[in-house]
Structure formats: structure tokens, C-alpha cells
Amino acid sequence: SDLVPEFQALWTAAQRRPDRQQRGEVKLTRDGGERTLLVRIAAERLAGELLGFVVTFDDVTELLSAQRAAAWADVARRIAHEIKNPLTPIQLSAERLKRKYQGEVTSDPETFAACTDTIVRQVEDIGRMVDEFSSFARMPQPSIGRENLSNLIREVVVLERSRASDIAIELNLPEGDMMLRCDRRQVSRALTNILKNAAESIESRLVREQADDGTSAPGRIAVSVADGRGQGGDESVAVVIEDNGVGLPEAGRERLTEPYVTTRTKGTGLGLAIVRKIMEDHQGGLRLEDRPGGGARITLVFRDMEETANDGEKDPMKVATGLGLG
Ligand SMILES: Nc1ncnc2c1ncn2[C@@H]1O[C@H](COP(=O)(O)OP(=O)(O)O)[C@@H](O)[C@H]1O
Ligand SMILES: [Mg+2]
């Protein structure tokens, strides 16, 4: 305990009760970082005589942090679920009220329509935020399969076209089907988040220019894919998404992929954090650049992954409890 004063309390206890093994968590702060050790002290005896004490310790810092993250994710998932459940009936009821009684309300039909529309819109916003929040909290280990990347991108683009119908989304895919070993749901999620940001930054530009002088270039997003595999290149597939929106903010660019960093009033700041996590899990990359001529150019770089049988082995909670802690 002269060497490690933090062990003092355990050490005193061990000397007082040499018949019992003492065990406890000890926090150490060295060189500015805090580590948590699991320390055990047991008496060593020979023929009833106390020879000394054996001290063993394990560094459980990472394990505890994984446990905490898993516990937090679990709470977040449950809360998100509880919030989402009532949203659909609220929305359907508001829509039904509007459909059914729109014609019957005579005293102030405008207010009636405005209020029901507000309910529907706000409920949609809550739903989207909760989706983003829970998918960030969830972020399962990717389950890798051989996927048709061309189709996957087409599907995401079709959905986005119907959501932002005033924006022209151009798609440039190489000929033939591109296959990639990846997690299809996560890759769709990443693309959707990037397209959503692009559409939002175009909307911001249009709103701003409307206020300035009323003339605007129409919104345009271009998605193009370059497959560098089998060409002696770096064996990667690059998906480039360009928009003619407001452009990335000048300041604090390197922090845009951190959770909760947003410049939008209704933003969650989770979109790019999710994309970054997905790209890290795919051993790929994410580049945020200016598009020549205005707007942003986002590049996602994918590599073929090893296929996995996703058996939940890597669930941090299971790893932690599997080691018999606590
Ligand atoms: N295509 C884009 N054009 C301009 N800015 C962008 C674009 N994509 C992301 N950003 C910037 O990055 C920030 C973080 O994005 P994101 O993590 O998706 O969170 P959110 O969309 O909720 O703000 C945005 O608030 C915006 O400032
Ligand atoms: Mg976003």
C-alpha cells in the first residue's frame, strides 16, 4: 500500500480478516487517465501460519465502459420504443378527424385544418428524431452478407425521390450489378442519412435565397459510384453524394461527425455520427468536402468485408457478464 495508496482500504481489511479473501474495485488516476482495477487480496498460509498476502488485480476499465454503454443503449432503446408506440394512433386520429369533420366544421374551418396539420407534422418530426436516436443507441454489430449494392442504392434513391419530390436526384451507376459484402440495412441507413442532409441543405439554400432576391437554381443531388475493385486500385467502392445546398459550415468541420453536433435548429446531430460509426464498422471511410460550384460533396468508401454469422457473440453486455464480473 506504500506503492499504490489506493489499495490501502482493501489492504487494511485483509490484515484484519486474514481468513477471508478481500475483493474490490479500485480507481487509479495516473498520467491524467483513470483506470479501474478489480483487486483481490488473499492470505497465504502454511500449516496455519500466515506467510503473507497475495494481491492480484485485473484492469477492468474497458469492460466497465462496455457495460455502461450497453446499459445506456438498452435504456435508450426502451424509451424510444415507448415514445414511438403512441405516435401512430395520434397521427391516424388527427388525420381521421380532419378527413371526417373537415366539411362539418363551419365556425372556423381554417383553424381546424391548421391544427390537425400541425399535429400530423409534429408527430412525424418526433418519430424521425426517435428513429435516429434509437438507431444510434442500437447500432448492432454489422451482419455482413453479399449484397447487390446497385439495387440497394436504387432503392434508397427511389425512396428519397418520393420524399423530396422537388429535388432532382441523379444517379450514375456503373453498368451491371455491383456486389459488395456489407450490412445492407446499415449501408441503406448511411446513404439515407447523407441524402437527407443533402435535401435539408438545399431547402435551407432555397429559403435563404427566397428571402434575398427570389431567384434560385433548382435543387439537385447527384449520386455516383466508382468501383475500384479488380483494377489494381485500392480495392474499394466509393459512393459520392453531391448537392447544391448551402454547403458545409466553415467552422468546426472536423466535429460534424460527433454525436449531437448540429447547426440546424431541428437537428439531432446524430445523422453523421451514425454514418461514421457504420463506416468504421465497415472498415471504410467518410470524407466531407466542398463541392466545386457550391454545396457539399460527401464520399463513402466501402471495402468488401468478411461474411459473418451474426451470433451476438460481440454484444458487449454478454462479453462483460460472460467474464463473471460483479
Ligand atoms: N450536405 C450537407 N450540406 C451542408 N451541411 C451539412 C451537410 N451534411 C451535414 N451538414 C452539416 O453537418 C451537421 C451535422 O449533420 P448531422 O449529423 O446529420 O445532424 P443534423 O442533420 O441533425 O444536423 C449539420 O447540422 C450541418 O451543419
Ligand atoms: Mg442529418
Strand order in the sheet with 33-46: 22-30, 33-46, 49-59
Give mean pLDDT, residues 287-305.
95
Confidence class of residue 136 from pLDDT cuts 50, 70 and 90?
confident
The CATH number that applies at residue 246 is 3.30.565.10
Residue to mutate, 197, 208, 253, 290, ligand 1, most ligand atoms under 8 Å from C-beta: 197
Give mean pLDDT, residues 9-31.
85
Is residue 324 a part of any domain in this protein? Answer: no
Is residue 257 a part of any domain in this protein? Answer: yes
Res. 324: pLDDT tops 70: no
Res. 33: pLDDT tops 80: no
Domain limit, last residue, from 16, 31, 59 = 59
Residue whose CA is at the smallest distance from ligand 1 atom 5:
248
Span from the CA of 242 to the centroid of ligand 1 (angstroms): 13
Q: What is the pLDDT of residue 306?
A: 84
Q: What is the pLDDT of residue 286?
A: 95
44 grid coordinates: 497465504
Q: What is the pLDDT of residue 6?
A: 84
Q: What is the pLDDT of residue 279?
A: 92
Confidence class of residue 75 from pLDDT cuts 50, 70 and 90?
confident
Q: Are residues 134 and 150 in the same domain?
A: no
Span from the CA of 106 to the centroid of ligand 2 (angstroms): 41
Res. 229: pLDDT tops 80: yes
Is residue 311 a part of any domain in this protein? Answer: no
Q: What is the pLDDT of residue 32?
A: 66
Pocket of ligand 1 (CB under 6 A): 193, 197-198, 201, 243, 245-249, 256, 261-264, 267-273, 296
CB distance 168 to 221 below 8 Å:
yes
**Segment 167-225, tens digit of pLDDT:** 999 999 999 999 999 999 999 999 999 999 999 999 999 999 988 887 889 999 999 99
Residue whose CA is at the smallest distance from ligand 1 atom 14:
262
Count the domains in the chain.
3
Q: Are residues 150 and 130 in the same domain?
A: no
Q: Are residues 81 and 163 in the same domain?
A: no
Give mean pLDDT, residues 81-91.
89
Is residue 316 a part of any domain in this protein? Answer: no
Q: What is the pLDDT of residue 67?
A: 77
Confidence class of residue 1 from pLDDT cuts 50, 70 and 90?
low
Is residue 318 a part of any domain in this protein? Answer: no
- Ligand nearest to the CA of residue 253, numbered in listed order: 1
Span from the CA of 273 to the centroid of ligand 2 (angstroms): 9
Confidence class of residue 74 from pLDDT cuts 50, 70 and 90?
confident
The fraction of the chain above a pLDDT of 90, given in percent, is: 46
Domain limit, last residue, from 13, 32, 59 = 59
Q: What is the pLDDT of residue 309?
A: 63
Say what angle helices 61-101 and 109-138 make with each other, to 10 degrees: 160
Confidence class of residue 316 from pLDDT cuts 50, 70 and 90?
very low
Tell which atom from ligand 1 comes closest to the C-alpha of 261: 14
318 grid coordinates: 454478454
Q: Are residues 47 and 171 in the same domain?
A: no
Q: Which residue has the higher pLDDT, 61 or 181?
A: 181
Res. 321: pLDDT tops 70: no
Q: Are residues 134 and 80 in the same domain?
A: yes
Span from the CA of 267 to the centroid of ligand 2 (angstroms): 7
Across all residues in the chain, what is the average pLDDT?
86
Q: What is the pLDDT of residue 81?
A: 82
Q: Are residues 168 and 298 in the same domain?
A: yes
Give mean pLDDT, residues 253-260.
84
The CATH number that applies at residue 19 is 2.10.70
Q: Are residues 278 and 294 in the same domain?
A: yes
Give mean pLDDT, residues 29-35.
76
Is residue 320 a part of any domain in this protein? Answer: no
Residue matched to cell numbers 457504420:
278
Q: Are residues 298 and 163 in the same domain?
A: yes
Q: Are residues 109 and 12 in the same domain?
A: no
Q: Are residues 267 and 288 in the same domain?
A: yes
Give mean pLDDT, residues 5-23.
86
Q: Are residues 82 and 220 in the same domain?
A: no
Res. 139: pLDDT tops 80: no
Range(s) of the domain holding residue 246: 145-303
Is residue 165 a part of any domain in this protein? Answer: yes
Say what angle helices 271-281 and 109-138 make with each other, to 10 degrees: 30
CB distance 219 to 204 below 8 Å:
no
Is residue 326 a part of any domain in this protein? Answer: no
